[in-house]
């Protein structure tokens, strides 16, 4: 029997998550609470709150009503026990590393991982005595052969950064659980609207909420949603690191969640339209978009994901740096810049050539983020860019 296609989150659930409940005259959105100290009128009240500091305001570094609202919304949407907000996506990643790893431990990390996640693993975590091996994103249940006695964490990202391979997350999570190994995944591309890793057996779901969750390129924010078994270690590491997301940022993250459905739907439509048009160009090679049949793991994407976001890439066989620079110079709708997930369209070269599993043998790769503009305008911008690149050739 064919499994039913996963469904996006109910839009009503997205609208209601994290909003104030009960009583009349409440604001539609939780207000921004700027606070370090929360005062009490008795030691009894102070000690009662201190016993459960993540359920009520106690101290600003632990959280405020604003951050509690955002975290509860993310936990609800991910189907998680709890969620914790961080000042950036990379801060969230580092908290995960430090929560579950100690000197002498071994990590299996997907080779298509986000660059800063790789860098911090091979630099900072290596200095702390943690070893890592990278694996092919298509490995699936074959990852069992790579597990050693010191393996403590399997780190995933799907689709992969730059080349967008889709992983068999349920197969890997099943193997990890068999061996008592924690699994973590970067779920930024899909958000919980299109993919909910904990439903597939993953322990830890990480988001650079800077991107689609905030949605307007105006805040740095990270968030981690965890199962009950994985929560306490992450909470302890967060406390010891002293990391806290600002109230303004979590407020923007919560605002973004309420419009995630309509924004992602437009990103999805625009991204597929651009990918389809790029496929018709004689200059392009493979279209690295999970919804495209030629993308590695496309059948898994169809099985596990409820949609696609606006981020994808295209291979440009035979292009050199001068030709790529000519393509990107003078674009009207697309801009050159890090990050993605906002309303604007972006383009930036990706660099998969340093990977080993498998070794990248294709041509240069350009990564595109399809924003919310009219797709006809985006296609016209790309058409002019190809003309500039042809003049450079």
114 is catalytic: yes
Q: Of 136, 168, 186, 304, which residue is the catalytic one?
A: 186
211 is catalytic: yes
Q: How many CB atoms lie within 10 A of CB 16?
A: 13
Rounded (10°) CA dihedral 3, 11, 161, 219: -160
**In this structure, are strands 82-86 and 222-226 parallel, antiparallel, or unpaired?**
antiparallel
384 is catalytic: no
* CB 264, CB 307: distance < 8 Å: yes
**Distance (Å, whole) CA 290 – CA 311:** 10
Q: How many CB atoms lie within 10 A of CB 143?
A: 23
Q: Of 97, 100, 114, 194, which residue is the catalytic one?
A: 114
186 is catalytic: yes
Q: Of 82, 118, 211, 367, which residue is the catalytic one?
A: 211
Q: Of 5, 34, 61, 178, which residue is the catalytic one?
A: 61
Query: Which residues are known to be catalytic?
Result: 61, 114, 186, 211
């Amino acid at each position: 029997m064919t499994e039913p296609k996963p469904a996006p989150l109910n839009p009503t659930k997205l609208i209601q998550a994290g909003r104030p409940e009960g009583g009349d005259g409440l604001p539609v959105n939780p207000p921004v609470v700027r606070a370090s100290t929360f005062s009490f009128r008795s030691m009894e009240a102070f000690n009662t709150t201190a016993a459960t500091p993540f359920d009520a305001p106690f101290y600003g570094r632990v959280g405020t009503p604003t951050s509690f609202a955002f975290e509860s919304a993310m936990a609800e949407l991910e189907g998680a026990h709890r969620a914790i907000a961080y000042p950036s996506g990379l801060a969230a990643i580092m908290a995960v590393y430090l929560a579950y790893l100690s000197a002498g431990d071994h990590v299996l990390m997907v080779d298509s991982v986000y660059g800063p996640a790789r860098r911090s693993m091979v630099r900072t975590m290596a200095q702390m005595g943690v070893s890592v091996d990278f694996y092919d994103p298509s490995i699936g249940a074959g990852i069992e052969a790579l597990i050693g006695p010191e393996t403590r964490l399997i780190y995933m990202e799907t689709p992969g950064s730059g080349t967008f391979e889709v992983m068999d997350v349920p197969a890997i999570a099943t193997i990890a659980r068999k061996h008592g190994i924690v699994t973590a995944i970067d779920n930024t591309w899909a958000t919980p609207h299109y993919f909910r890793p904990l439903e597939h057996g993953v322990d830890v779901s990480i988001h650079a909420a800077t991107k689609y969750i905030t949605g307007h390129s105006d805040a740095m924010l990270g968030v981690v949603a965890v199962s009950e078994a994985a929560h306490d270690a992450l909470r302890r590491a967060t406390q010891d690191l002293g990391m806290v997301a600002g109230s303004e940022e979590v407020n923007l993250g919560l605002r973004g969640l309420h419009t995630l459905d309509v924004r992602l739907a437009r990103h999805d439509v625009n991204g597929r339209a651009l990918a389809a048009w790029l496929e018709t160009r004689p200059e392009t090679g493979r279209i690295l978009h999970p919804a495209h049949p030629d993308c590695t793991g496309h059948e898994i994407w169809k099985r596990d994901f409820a949609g696609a976001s606006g981020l994808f890439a295209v291979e440009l066989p035979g292009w050199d740096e001068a030709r790529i620079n000519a393509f990107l110079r003078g674009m009207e709708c697309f801009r050159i810049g890090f990050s993605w997930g906002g309303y604007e369209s972006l383009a930036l070269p990706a660099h998969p050539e340093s990977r080993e599993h498998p070794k990248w043998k294709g041509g240069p790769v350009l990564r595109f983020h399809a924003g919310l503009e009219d797709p006809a305008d985006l296609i016209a911008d790309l058409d002019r860019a190809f003309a500039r690149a042809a003049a450079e050739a």
